């Protein structure tokens, strides 16, 4: 059921999310340059000092700017700090999406912040600090922003998904590609398949460099929400295998953890 929410200035909030993501990304870059150890969480995924430092920056800023909007953040959830009733509007935060890429030092990691309203991602920012690229998505469309030295914004441009060509360009996870992914892609005419880490895959679809991103295997909502928001703002869509748009705020699932996604396929323009 769609609930009527109090008015919110999406444009002003998106500007806040841009600033916060860049600040968190600059702290990640500092730690990345110095180097740090990592630990394994209960699910055997890695976590570093950079994850925690970035999340602290993001949480402080969001709670100051919008204290009435709950925040679901990966490391808080991992630490057992689970919010109560979320209502129809909440944030999903992954302070360092692609920690494996961070540890392996290939640069394919991002800062992800998304606003969810009535189970849909309506605002999102995806910042790749090593690449100096920030993707944003909201009601006014999607943008690609160039971030230079010290986190300064040096350029911005509108982006959009391309119409699907006869031969598709696919993107797939660098660290989590599965046989199911390859089997699914065999259903289509695929000219090339690009492997890239983190939510950068959504960015490639959003700026018209790729057409399809299937994901089979465990992901969490904070992994996908920001990239999905950018993709939808660019004219694409993320669908579950039954053909419905991917939704957010999944709790009390019989066969999986809170905030776990089902398998999905992200598309440019269908």
Classify residue 5: in a domain, yes or no. Answer: no
pLDDT band at 270 (very low <50, low <70, confident <90, very high): confident
Using CA atoms, how far apart are residues 106 and 98, in angstroms rounded to an integer?
Answer: 10
Instruction: Flag whether 110 is in a domain.
Output: yes
Verify that 177 and 147 share a domain, yes or no.
no
Residues at the binding site for substrate are: 74, 96-99, 223
Please state the length of the chain. 270
Q: Rounded distance, CA 162 to CA 234, Å?
A: 9
**Same domain assignment for residues 113 and 130:** yes
Average pLDDT, the chain: 93
The helix-helix angle for 49-65 and 10-34 (nearest 10°) equals 160
CATH number for 54: 3.30.540.10
- 100-115: per-residue pLDDT in tens? 898 889 899 999 999 9
Which residue numbers belong to the known binding site? Answer: 74, 94, 96-99, 223
Mean pLDDT of all residues in 227-249: 98
pLDDT digits (tens, 9 = 90+) for 29-57: 999 999 888 887 777 688 889 999 999 99
Which of 84-88, 109-113, 177-181, 195-199 has the least mean pLDDT? 177-181
Domain boundary among 159, 185, 219: 159
More confident residue, 150 or 39: 150
Under the banding of pLDDT at 50, 70 and 90, the label for residue 99 is confident
**pLDDT band, residue 175 (cuts 50/70/90):** low
Q: Is residue 3 part of a domain?
A: no
240 found inside a domain = yes
pLDDT of residue 3: 63
Range(s) of the domain holding residue 217: 168-267
Answer yes or no: are the C-beta atoms of 89 and 105 closer than 8 Å: no
Separation between Cα atoms, residue 108 and residue 101, nearest integer Å: 6
- Domain boundary among the residues 110, 140, 159 is at 159
CB 50 within 8 A of CB 74: no
- Whether residue 4 is contained in a domain is answered as no
Helices (H), 67-214: 74-78, 99-104, 179-185, 200-206
- How much is the pLDDT for 178? 81
Together in a domain, 40 and 107: yes
In sequence order, which residues have a C-beta less than 8 Å from that of residue 50 and are 6 or more positions away? 27, 28, 31, 32, 36, 95, 96, 102
Which residues fall in the annotated binding site for Mg(2+)?
74, 94, 96-97, 223
Contacts of 2 (CB under 8 A, 6+ apart): 118
> With contact defined as beta carbons under 8 Å apart, do 250 and 258 qualify?
yes
35 in a structural domain: yes
Same domain, yes or no, for 69 and 154?
A: yes
Banded pLDDT at 127 (limits 50, 70, 90)? very high
Please give the sequence-ordered ranges of beta strands (E in DSSP) within the chain, or none if there are none: 38-40, 46-48, 71-73, 89-97, 110-117, 120-128, 133-138, 141-147, 153-159, 168-173, 190-196, 212-215, 237-240, 264-267
pLDDT for the residue 77: 94
Asked if residue 1 is part of any domain, the answer here is no
Q: What angle (nearest 5°) sits at the alpha carbon of residue 205, between those of residues 58 and 251?
A: 50
Report the pLDDT averaged over residues 15-22.
98
Same domain, 15 and 131: yes
Decide if pLDDT at 177 tops 80: no
Q: 71 and 123, same structural domain?
A: yes
Global pTM value: 0.95
Residue 189 has pLDDT above 80, yes or no: yes
- Give the span between the Cα atoms of 269 and 257, in whole angstroms: 31
Residue 5: which H helix or E strand, with range? Answer: none
My answer on whether 252 and 125 are in the same domain is: no
Which segments within 68-167 are labelled E, that is strand?
Answer: 71-73, 89-97, 110-117, 120-128, 133-138, 141-147, 153-159
Last residue of a domain, one of 159, 194, 227: 159
Q: How many domains does the chain contain in total?
A: 2
Are 172 and 48 contained in the same domain?
A: no
For residues 227 and 151, what is the distance between their CA atoms, to the nearest angstrom?
A: 20
Tell me what the mean pLDDT of segment 248-269 comes to.
95
- 183 & 106 share domain: no
């Amino acid at each position: 059921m769609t609930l009527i929410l109090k008015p919110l200035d999406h444009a002003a909030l998106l500007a806040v999310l841009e600033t916060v993501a860049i600040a968190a990304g600059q702290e990640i870059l500092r730690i990345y340059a110095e180097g740090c150890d990592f630990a394994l969480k209960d699910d055997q995924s890695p976590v570093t000092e950079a994850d925690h430092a970035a999340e602290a920056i993001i949480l402080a800023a969001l709670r100051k700017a919008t204290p009435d909007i709950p925040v679901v953040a990966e490391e808080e959830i991992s630490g057992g700090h689970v919010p109560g009733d979320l209502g129809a509007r909440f944030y999903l935060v992954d302070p360092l999406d692609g920690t494996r890429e961070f540890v392996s030092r290939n640069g394919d990691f991002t800062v992800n912040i998304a606003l969810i309203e009535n189970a849909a991602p309506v605002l999102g920012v995806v910042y790749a600090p090593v690449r100096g690229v920030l993707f944003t998505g909201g009601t006014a469309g999607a943008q690609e922003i160039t971030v230079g030295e010290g986190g300064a914004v040096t350029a911005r441009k509108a982006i959009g998904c391309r119409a699907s060509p006869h031969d598709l360009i696919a993107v797939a996870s660098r660290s989590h590609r599965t046989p199911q992914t390859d089997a699914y892609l065999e259903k289509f005419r695929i000219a090339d398949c690009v492997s890239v880490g983190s939510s950068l895959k959504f960015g490639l679809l959003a700026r018209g460099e790729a057409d399809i991103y299937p994901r089979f295997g465990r992901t969490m909502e904070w992994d996908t929400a920001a990239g999905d928001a950018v993709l939808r703002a660019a004219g694409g869509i993320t669908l579950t295998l039954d053909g419905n748009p991917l939704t957010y705020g999944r709790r009390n699932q019989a066969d999986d953890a809170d905030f776990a996604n089902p398998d999905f396929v992200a598309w440019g323009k269908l």
